[in-house]
Homo-oligomer: A and B are copies of this chain.
């Protein structure tokens, strides 16, 4: 299966009328060697900055490593399990962290992780627009990451992300090779859009 046919097979149902940018985004584990131009890299982070956040706090922080540098190696080191292997082949890895308190008065925020998720979403869609792919990883040793990067207690370590251009799916070991070529699945609206709790919302008549 070629890189192009994998790419095509991953596009979410276009008949839904959803934006192509949103339907084209998926999470590969195979990345090519091609590096990311600094101008493109800037764009993905500027895109993140335009996310909305509670009191416009912009609680998100990104720690960025490139393959071959010490930051990249430390991010890989903080990854758990198989993530360590495939993510190590991406040209870029970054960690996200979220500020627990509001800068304006030091009061605790309940939205810092939520809003960092929103900013990460802006980032990954901008990456998609530039022909890049991203893959978020929950499997990180957060204490290790905190220690490796001296992340202060006032920040939660959120997630790790790999970013780069799509690589050869056949370079992956199983079961990841099959996953890379497999169909995507999502819940139908009835399962997550409600009127009353767990009562599907009605769209029109």
Contacts and interface: CB of A to CB of B under 8 A. Distances in A.
Given A18-B50, A19-B129, A120-B118, A151 B197 contact: yes
A150 B189 CA distance: 20
How many copies of this chain does one complex carry? 2
Given A62-B194, A117-B117, 14 more contacts: A17-B46, A18-B46, A38-B204, A45-B193, A62-B201, A63-B197, A64-B193, A113-B113, A114-B120, A114-B159, A115-B117, A116-B117, A119-B121, A121-B122
Interface in A95-132: 110-111, 113-122, 124-126, 129
A49 B192 contact: yes
Interface of A: 12, 16-19, 21-23, 25-27, 37-39, 41-43, 45-52, 54-56, 58, 60-65, 71, 110-111, 113-122, 124-126, 129, 135-136, 138, 149-152, 158-159, 185-187, 189, 192-197, 201, 203-204
A21 B19 contact: yes
B50 A25 contact: yes
A25 B197 CA distance: 29
Contacts of A37: 204
B110 A38 contact: no
Contacts of A46: 16-18, 189
Given A122-B121, A138-B54, A151-B197, A47 B19 contact: yes
A64 B47 CA distance: 28
Contacts of A47: 18-19, 22
Contacts of A49: 186-187, 189, 192
28 contacts: A16-B43, A18-B43, A18-B126, A21-B21, A21-B125, A26-B52, A38-B204, A49-B187, A49-B192, A50-B186, A51-B121, A54-B136, A55-B138, A60-B192, A61-B193, A62-B192, A63-B194, A63-B197, A64-B193, A71-B195, A113-B117, A114-B158, A114-B159, A117-B121, A118-B118, A119-B121, A121-B125, A150-B197
